[in-house]
C-alpha cells in the first residue's frame, strides 16, 4: 500500500476514525499495530512473519543486554542480534549480489562455477526496519536508554506504518515515549498533518512522477550517445525526481503521524541549498546520516584518533552507506564519490583552520556560489546512483562533458519543464534553508494558504494516474 493511492485514503480515514473513538488507549495501540501489519501485508503478506520475528527477538535480546552484567554474555547477545539482523538483510538484499560476484571471481581464477540464479524477493522496507531494531539493541548494550517495557509498544515502534517502509529511521527515545500515554491529534496538529500529507503527495505525484520521471528515464535508459544538453537535463531531472520522491514520502509520513498525534523526526532540510558536502549530509536523509554517524563512523574511530583514522572512518562510512542503498557496485561508487568530496572539503578546511559548520547558515553571495558548486557535484554522483552499470555511467558522463555527441533525444517541452522546475527547487531551498515549511505556511494569510492548498489538491487529482511507487521502497 502506498500513500499515493485511493486504497490508502480509505485505509487512513478508517484509522483516523478508530483512533478518535472513546476507547481505551491500549485498544487504540492494538488497532495501530494491526493497521501497520495490514499496511505492510499489502506488498507481500508472508514477510510479516519476518518483521514479527525480528521484532520479538530484538525485544527480548535488548532487555537481556540491558540487565546482564557479565561482559562476555553481553557481547555474545549483541553478536546474536547483529548476526540475526544483518544476516537477514544480507540474505534478502545482497544474496544475489554476493553470489554473482563470487561467480565472477571464480571465473577470473579459472574455476568454472555456474550455479542456478537464486529467486530472492526483497522484502519492502527491510533496510529501514533492520536499522531501527539494530539501534535499539546497540543502545541497550551501551545502556544509553532504558528498555521498552511493553512488547506492544516495541512492536508498534518498529512497525508504525507511516515510517515502516521508507523512514524516517526512528530511535526508541524519539517514538516509544509517545506510546506510553494517550495521544490524539489536536486541531492544529490535524491541519498541519493534512497540509504536510498534501504537500508530500504533490511533490511525489505532480512534480516527481508527472513532470520529471519520464525525462530522467528517457536519458538513463538510452543506450545511445547524447548531446550535452540532453544529458544534463536528464541528470537534473533525476536529481529533482529523487529529492521530490523521497522527501515527498518523508513529508507524507510525518504528516500522517501528526494526524494521529505523533511526531516523527525531520528527514530533509532543503539539501539542494547545502553549502558544502558536510552541510549536504546534515540536510539529506538526516535520520540515516545520523544513524551512520552514531553507529558506524564514531565506532570506527571518528575524529578522536588522529586524521588518518578519521579519513578512513569517513570513507568506510560513505562506502557502506552507498551499499546500504542497493546491491550494486554503482551505489558503492556513489558513496565513495561522496566520501571523496568530504575528504577534499575537510582537507582544505583543516588547512585554513575553518570549522566544518562555520558560516553554513549565512545567505551570502559567496555561500550561494559554493552551494551551486555543491549542487552540481552532487548531480555527478546521481549518475552512478541511477545507472545500473558503470558502462552506462561512463557513457552518460562523456555526454555531459562534451566527450560524445549524438542525436537529440528530448523534446523542447521536456527540456523546458526541467529548466523551470529545477531552478525553482534550488532557489526555494536557498531562500527557505533556515526555516521550516510550516513556518512559511503560518506566515501566509488564510486566503493565500487556501488557494495554494486547493491548487495542490486539484493538481493531485489531475495527475493521480501518473503516480508510481516510491523510489526508496526498493532500498
| Residues catalogued as catalytic | 325
* Eight-class DSSP state of 148: P
Asked if 167 and 327 touch (Cβ cutoff 8 Å), the reply is no
Cell for 441?
A: 505556511
Closest CA to 252 of 174, 213, 198, 171: 198
Cα-Cα-Cα-Cα dihedral sign, residues 444, 450, 451, 454: positive
Asked if 129 and 158 touch (Cβ cutoff 8 Å), the reply is yes
Measured between alpha carbons, how far is residue 145 from residues 13, 62, 77, 181, 471 in Å? Answer: 35, 11, 17, 19, 33
Q: What angle do CA 418, 420, 426 make, to 5 degrees?
A: 90
Closest CA to 162 of 54, 371, 347, 1: 1
Asked if 442 and 369 touch (Cβ cutoff 8 Å), the reply is no
Neighbours of 86 (CB within 10 A): 13
For cell 513556518, what's the residue?
439
Classify residue 278 as exposed, middle or buried by CB count within 10 Å of its CB (0-12, 13-18, 19+). Answer: middle
Amino acid at each position: 500500500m502506498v500513500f499515493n493511492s485511493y486504497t490508502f485514503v480509505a485505509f487512513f480515514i478508517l484509522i483516523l476514525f478508530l483512533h478518535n473513538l472513546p476507547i481505551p488507549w491500549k485498544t487504540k495501540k492494538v488497532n495501530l499495530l494491526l493497521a501497520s501489519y495490514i499496511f505492510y501485508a499489502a506488498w507481500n503478506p508472508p514477510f510479516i512473519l519476518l518483521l514479527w520475528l525480528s521484532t520479538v527477538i530484538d525485544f527480548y535480546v535488548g532487555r537481556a543486554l540491558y540487565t546482564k552484567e557479565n561482559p562476555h554474555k553481553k557481547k555474545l547477545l549483541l553478536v546474536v542480534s547483529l548476526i540475526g539482523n544483518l544476516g537477514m538483510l544480507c540474505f534478502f538484499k545482497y544474496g544475489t549480489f554476493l553470489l554473482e560476484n563470487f561467480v565472477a571471481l571464480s571465473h577470473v581464477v579459472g574455476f568454472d562455477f555456474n550455479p542456478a540464479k537464486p529467486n530472492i524477493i526483497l522484502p519492502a522496507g527491510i533496510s529501514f526496519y533492520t536499522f531501527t531494531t539494530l539501534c535499539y539493541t546497540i543502545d541497550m548494550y551501551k545502556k544509553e536508554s532504558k528498555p521498552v517495557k511493553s512488547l506492544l509498544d516495541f512492536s508498534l515502534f518498529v512497525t508504525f506504518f507511516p515510517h515502516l517502509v521508507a523512514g524516517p529511521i526512528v530511535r526508541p527515545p524519539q517514538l516509544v515515549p509517545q506510546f506510553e500515554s494517550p495521544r490524539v491529534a489536536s486541531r492544529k496538529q490535524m491541519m498541519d498533518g493534512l497540509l504536510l500529507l498534501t504537500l508530500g503527495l504533490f511533490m511525489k505525484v505532480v512534480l516527481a512522477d508527472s513532470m520529471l520521471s519520464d525525462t530522467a528515464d528517457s536519458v538513463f535508459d538510452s543506450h545511445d550517445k547524447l548531446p550535452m544538453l540532453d544529458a544534463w537535463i536528464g541528470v537534473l531531472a533525476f536529481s529533482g525526481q529523487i529529492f521530490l520522491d523521497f522527501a515527498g514520502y518523508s513529508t507524507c509520513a510525518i504528516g500522517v503521524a501528526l494526524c494521529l498525534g505523533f511526531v516523527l523526526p525531520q528527514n530533509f532540510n532543503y539539501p539542494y541549498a547545502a553549502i558544502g558536502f558536510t552541510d549536504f549530509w546534515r540536510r539529506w536523509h538526516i535520520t540515516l546520516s545520523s544513524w551512520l554517524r552514531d553507529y558506524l563512523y564514531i565506532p570506527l574511530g571518528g575524529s578522536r584518533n588522529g586524521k588518518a583514522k578519521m579519513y578512513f572512518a569517513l570513507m568506510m562510512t560513505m562506502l557502506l552507506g552507498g551499499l546500504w542503498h542497493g546491491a550494486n557496485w554503482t551505489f558503492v561508487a556513489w558513496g565513495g564519490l561522496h566520501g571523496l568530496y568530504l575528504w577534499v572539503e575537510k582537507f582544505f578546511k583543516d588547512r585554513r583552520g575553518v570549522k566544518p559548520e562555520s558560516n553554513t547558515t549565512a545567505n551570502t553571495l559567496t555561500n550561494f556560489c559554493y552551494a551551486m558548486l555543491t549542487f552540481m557535484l552532487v548531480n555527478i554522483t546521481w549518475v552512478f546512483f541511477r545507472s545500473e552499470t558503470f558502462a552506462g555511467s561512463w557513457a552518460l558522463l562523456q555526454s555531459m562533458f562534451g566527450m560524445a555527441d549524438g542525436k537529440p533525444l528530448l523534446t523542447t517541452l521536456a527540456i523546458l519543464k526541467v529548466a523551470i522546475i529545477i531552478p525553482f527547487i534550488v532557489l526555494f531551498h536557498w531562500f527557505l534553508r533556515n526555516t521550516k515549511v510550516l513556518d512559511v505556511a503560518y506566515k501566509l494569510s488564510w486566503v493565500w494558504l487556501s488557494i495554494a492548498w486547493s491548487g495542490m489538491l486539484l493538481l493531485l487529482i489531475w495527475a493521480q494516474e501518473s503516480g508510481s511507487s516510491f523510489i526508496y521502497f526498493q532500498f
